[in-house]
């Protein structure tokens, strides 16, 4: 877990370089910074900030324009009038049932996340705590899944779900999202469980607690940050999944927003303001979730190798 701690010095410490108390391990950051290079860094930082937010600002400004304004041959950078009512009217656009698409996205993501949690939590706990024959085989299997993505397997999944009779259902996409996000969840939670001293478990077992009680009462509170990371990651990945949904879900109402929104492209008169309004609604919550786990974003498979 050392890879994931935020060990760089805080800005405050640099402005007052003499106050270094040596408590934190000093990393690759200069302590005494001339004001000139500090300003240069701030300027570079500002450029980066603008570049990374620009597409989403265009999206946001576009979402409150009228259709006439967003399709005007003399485009405006900022909306001349702010039409917040777009956020209410966009749900009844004829191209696709957007409200149903939002519900599909939500149901698929929530169920896939719950399934991952139910399956990955016990597996990561057991492999971190106990040695058993096949343990390494299992961990290898998990790494291999990390290398495979649903896009390359869609033709197989398509035929498989036909024969299971669940093609074009939420269940199919819940299974796909759960299976392909399992490896990350197992790895990140595995590394958290492995970080708890075994003595903690043994002490509880001496007091008569069974394996299940040790997991739920002793370990869970300690690995909570790992669980949150796994949950957020799985949820956001399922929320944005595109390739498998595109092939496996054919009924408009079953499709997630990622697939539904592509239908606007190439239309005779694309309602871009609605596309952007829905995008803002879909992007804001997951960005907030990702920001909440910012310090642990580099995890799972990467955690071990970026020591």
To another protein, the closest distance from the beta carbon of 33 in angstroms equals 7
CB nearer to another protein: pick between 81 and 269: 269
To another protein, the closest distance from the beta carbon of 18 in angstroms equals 15
Of the candidates 255, 227, 237, which has an alpha carbon nearest to the alpha carbon of residue 109?
Answer: 237
- What is the three-class DSSP state of 130? coil
- What is the three-class DSSP state of 43? helix
CB nearer to another protein: pick between 50 and 99: 50
CA dihedral 177, 126, 129, 199 (to 10 degrees): 110
- Quick one: DSSP state of residue 251? S
CB nearer to another protein: pick between 40 and 200: 40
CB nearer to another protein: pick between 97 and 271: 271
CB nearer to another protein: pick between 97 and 256: 256
CB nearer to another protein: pick between 134 and 221: 134
Please, are residues 141 and 187 in contact by the beta-carbon 8 Å criterion?
no
Inter-axis angle of helices 98-129 and 135-147, to 10 degrees?
Answer: 150
CA distance 60 to 82: 11
Q: Which two tokens stand for residue 265?
A: 């492209």
To another protein, the closest distance from the beta carbon of 144 in angstroms equals 8
CA distance 83 to 155: 43
CA distance 273 to 307: 45
To another protein, the closest distance from the beta carbon of 273 in angstroms equals 10
Please, are residues 124 and 142 in contact by the beta-carbon 8 Å criterion?
no
To another protein, the closest distance from the beta carbon of 139 in angstroms equals 8
CA distance 171 to 77: 42
To another protein, the closest distance from the beta carbon of 207 in angstroms equals 21
């Amino acid at each position: 877990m050392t890879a994931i701690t935020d060990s760089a010095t805080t800005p405050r410490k640099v402005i007052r370089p003499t106050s270094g108390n040596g408590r934190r391990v000093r990393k690759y950051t200069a302590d005494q910074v001339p004001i000139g290079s500090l300003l240069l860094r701030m300027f570079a930082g500002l450029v980066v900030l603008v570049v990374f937010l620009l597409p989403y600002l265009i999206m946001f400004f576009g979402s409150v324009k009228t259709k006439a304004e967003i399709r005007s041959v003399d485009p405006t950078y900022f909306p001349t009038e702010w039409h917040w009512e777009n956020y209410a009217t966009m749900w009844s656009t004829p191209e696709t049932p957007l409200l149903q698409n939002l519900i599909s996205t939500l149901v698929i993501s929530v169920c896939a996340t719950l399934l991952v949690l139910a399956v990955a939590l016990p597996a990561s706990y057991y492999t971190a705590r106990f040695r058993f024959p096949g343990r390494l085989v299992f961990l290898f299997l998990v790494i291999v899944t990390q290398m495979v993505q649903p896009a390359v397997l869609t033709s197989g999944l398509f035929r498989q779900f036909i024969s299971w009779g669940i093609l074009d259902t939420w269940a199919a996409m819940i299974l796909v999202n759960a299976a392909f996000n399992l490896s990350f969840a197992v790895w990140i939670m595995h590394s958290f469980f492995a970080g708890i001293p075994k003595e903690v478990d043994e002490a509880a077992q001496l007091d008569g607690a069974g394996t299940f009680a040790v997991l739920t009462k002793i370990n869970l509170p300690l690995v909570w940050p790992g669980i949150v990371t796994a949950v957020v990651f799985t949820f956001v990945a399922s929320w944005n999944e595109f390739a498998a949904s595109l092939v496996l879900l054919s009924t408009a109402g079953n499709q997630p927003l990622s697939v539904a929104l592509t239908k606007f492209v190439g239309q005779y008169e694309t309602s871009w303001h609605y596309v952007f309004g829905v995008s803002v609604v879909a992007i804001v919550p997951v960005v907030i979730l990702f920001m909440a786990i910012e310090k642990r974003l580099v995890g799972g498979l990467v955690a071990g190798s970026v020591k």
